[in-house]
Amino acid sequence: MLSRNRARTSLLAGAAAVAGLLLAGLPATVSHAADQESCRPDGLYTTPGVDVPYCSVYDTEGREKMGADHQRRVIGYFTGWRTGKDGTPAYLAPDIPWDKITHINYAFAHIDGSNKISVGADGPTNASTGMTWPGVSGAEMDPEYSYKGHFNLLNKFKKQHPNVKTLISVGGWAETGGYFDADGDRVNSGGFYSMATNADGSVNQAGIETFANSAVDFIRKYGFNGVDIDYEYPTTMKDAGNPLDWSVSNGRRAGLVKGYAVLMKTLREKLDRAGAADGRHYLLTVAAPSSGYLLRGMETFQVQKYLDYVNIMSYDLHGAWNEYVGPNASLFDDGKDAELAAAGVYGANQYGGIGYLNTDWAYHYFRGSMPAGRINIGLPYYTRGFKNVTGGTDGLWGKAASTNCPAGSGLTKCGDGATGIDNLWHDLDTNGKESPAGSNPMWHAKNLEKGVVGDYVTKYGFPADTQLTGTYARKYDSTLVAPWLWNAEKKVFLSTEDEQSVKAKADYVVDRGIGGTMVWELAGDYQWNAAKGQYEPGSTLTTAMYDKFKSASPYGAKVSNKQLPTKAVDIGVEFGEFKLGDSNYPITPKVKITNNTKATLPGGTEFQFDYSTAAPANASDQSGFGAKVISSDHTGSNVGGLKGDFHRVSLKLPGWQSLAPGASVELSFNYYLPVSTPWNWTVNINGTTYALTQDLARGVTVVEPGSDTTPTPEPTDPTPTPTPGDCTAPAWDSSTAYGGGTEVSHEGHTWKSKWWTKGEEPGTTGEWGVWQDLGAC
């Protein structure tokens, strides 16, 4: 069983986040103006009937245009709450190293009680849209904009740095399932959980439509280049995410993944339509978990095809939510992870010795269904740490047990998190007490390492004459690529990042063709103030990444690392029927293959596909299809990193079973560690090998098997789409048999049957099932 671990928190609350697989459905095939289609990133879904202006953002290889000196992304989260109004150091738009970054994610907007995106009511205390900073150099408002606050300043500096894109990030740890009102009190509104999924587990289509429409209006109003979704977390794993949300989220677990997929598809389509109208492509991205535990409950993360790129929250891999002392964000596994060892991961043959609490594993999970260039790895500009550590090597892989868990954490047994001067950026628990976590900006950690008590400590409640106890010795493990501070006298372990680890991670990004990096959060970076003899907020780590990336080769723009056929056929493959939560082990979904061509597939027809080396090469089927791994880019443990990206699988229709046009067949598949959507499909039909349209590959021609004939599209209905609430087709009836081409209405949408059906509910059969969604009515 995959062990639990903490995934990223937005406010780094002191509660446990405990972190599977459903293949995405197939998109409709659409035509584009040739110049725009040539710029579409490999594997990215296109809204049917919309000529998306991809070339406003991407070049003709499908790579993002970011400026001549930005070959890879450097994405920084900029938080709205470090305003300086409480006396602690401010971090404002003028402090951002604009020439060193490519994207800014503004954290956070939330979902209000009416399912609309919001940053709260306008007014002079609203940091996003109303606050001002008189006398602060560079923070003067631009009179061009009707709003003030951070949004005004972000647009002011974007004029000077036009290659930098801004995205509004929605959610985060504290505001996924609720939001903070003007008085700072949390409103437990349900947030993402109730907006996208009803209490009975069904999709809340009305809530999704409302939110997506408001998101388009929001970015147009405030000048953002896109939307970043920080939904923490749409997983079936019980008690995942913020404990304050469990009363809403746990009852919806069975429907969260489906609601998430519909949300992301809806956002993609509305952003595409808005972009076509505005002459600019709007970005859609997510902050995705890196935890194997969380991802096991997210099926195959089937939303990746809707995303311009994914930002992996490859941090919070160890922390005080349990007793196992380890790095916050190691790059690689070393085969010694105490949490994994306690769970028996290394000794279990089915896992292949693969440790899954590291950045490299998380990257390869997503690499299974995305080009390397549409993936960014996360780096923390903050620490996590423990006190009263016993065992291990200078604390590493030791233990720090405690039964004193923060109020509101939902836990009964925790790690002994560092406190006091070792926990400068701590959050408060629900009783208003310090939440032990060892959470510090890196500039404070650097001062601890140097034995300096910064003059800022009084702003955080410490006396001016504060003295440090013991020495904070810097340690570094080159296998893990992880630095930490070890105070042997206090038995304090603080997991850190510094120039050595950041440069090594930047080299990793360059060497593997990865799109870039994302950092949480910019305000944690550091610089040395010689005049004061202390470290302060700066841009040392961000500059180190920029220097590594500015002359790098272009990032990897293709999903496959091999040449695939340039002709594709319309055969759909879906992975579904996943067990929920902890029952989803081994991972045994049903694989449904649907023949949407006009040709019958004979018995023995061979399919091949790739899945990620994040899982070992022991996948199989239980249905007589002979599924077997026929080649592997990696074997053995992943100490020091996975050596390649894909395992190649072959399976065949049983010799006695042909597949007629419109027919489907299912098999039971089996594997042991989570993987994202298997990709790079091929099918050999009567001696000719084709790609599948569902892979959304660049440069392929869709044909009918055995010919170069392009399939005839279904006739387009010239009738205008009816307004919501005006469903004209007869209501679907589970007892009625419907022939192909029949239209019905169900749950506010019109549906068209592709072939004969009875008893199959519209909205439950997937994009390549019998019912085609014709849109809201």
Q: Is 580 helix (H, G, I), strand (E, B) or coil?
A: coil
pLDDT for residue 185 = 92
| Inter-residue contact 179 to 191 (CB < 8 Å) | yes
pLDDT for residue 87 = 94
Can you spell out the DSSP letters for 581-633?
GGG--SB--EEEEEE-SSSPBPTT-EEEEEEETTS-S--EESSSS--EEEEES
Instruction: For the beta carbon of residue 491, count every other beta carbon within 10 angstroms.
Output: 18
Provide CB contacts within 8 A for 79, sequence distance 6+: 91, 107, 108, 521, 523
Give the Cα separation of 626 and 650 in Å (integer).
8
Give the Cα separation of 493 and 324 in Å (integer).
11
Instruction: For the beta carbon of residue 9, count every other beta carbon within 10 angstroms.
Output: 25
Nearest to 355 by CA among 369, 368, 365: 365
pLDDT for residue 512 = 98
pLDDT for residue 755 = 66
**What architecture does CATH give domain 49-317+358-381+502-549?**
Alpha-Beta Barrel (3.20)
Token pair 């950690």 is found at: 445
Can you spell out the DSSP letters for 332-376?
SB-S--HHHHHTTTTT-GGGTT---SSHHHHHHHHHTTS-GGGEE
Element (H, E) at 549: helix 540-549
DSSP state of 3: P
Amino acid type, 276: A
Extents of the domains making up the chain: 49-317+358-381+502-549, 567-702, 737-776
Can you spell out the DSSP letters for 207-226?
HHHHHHHHHHHHHHHHT-SE
Provide CB contacts within 8 A for 563, sequence distance 6+: none
Write down the number of H helices and E strands in the chain.
12, 35
Token pair 């709205």 is found at: 80
pLDDT for residue 712 = 62
Give the Cα separation of 605 and 185 in Å (integer).
60
Q: Is 459 exposed, middle or buried (0-12, 13-18, 19+ CB in 10 A)?
A: middle
Return the structure tokens found at 407. Answer: 């109020």
Give the Cα separation of 614 and 200 in Å (integer).
33
Q: How far is CA 86 from CA 81, 391, 460, in A?
A: 10, 40, 10
Return the structure tokens found at 579. Answer: 């067990």
| Inter-residue contact 19 to 240 (CB < 8 Å) | yes
Q: How far is CA 759 from CA 732, 735, 770, in A?
A: 9, 6, 11
Give the Cα separation of 25 and 95 in Å (integer).
43
- Would strands 103-111 and 165-171 be described as parallel, antiparallel, or unpaired? parallel
CATH class of 567-702: mainly beta
Q: How many CA atoms lie within 13 A of 149 on its CB side?
A: 22
- Would strands 679-685 and 628-632 be described as parallel, antiparallel, or unpaired? unpaired
Residues pairing with 378 in the sheet? 518
Nearest to 75 by CA among 97, 108, 43: 97
DSSP state of 660: -
Instruction: For the beta carbon of residue 730, count every other beta carbon within 10 angstroms.
Output: 13
Give the Cα separation of 213 and 184 in Å (integer).
27
- Model confidence pLDDT, tens digit, residues 583-593: 999 999 999 99
pLDDT for residue 736 = 83
Please list the ranges in the chain whose pLDDT falls under 70. 1-34, 712-726, 739-740, 755-756, 766-769
| Inter-residue contact 170 to 222 (CB < 8 Å) | no
Nearest to 517 by CA among 357, 332, 639, 359: 359
Give the Cα separation of 547 and 545 in Å (integer).
5
Instruction: For the beta carbon of residue 631, count every other beta carbon within 10 angstroms.
Output: 14
CATH 3.60.10.10 fits 737-776, yes or no: no
Q: How far is CA 192 from CA 224, 235, 239, 495, in A?
A: 21, 12, 16, 31
The yes-or-no answer to whether 49-317+358-381+502-549 and 567-702 have a common fold is no
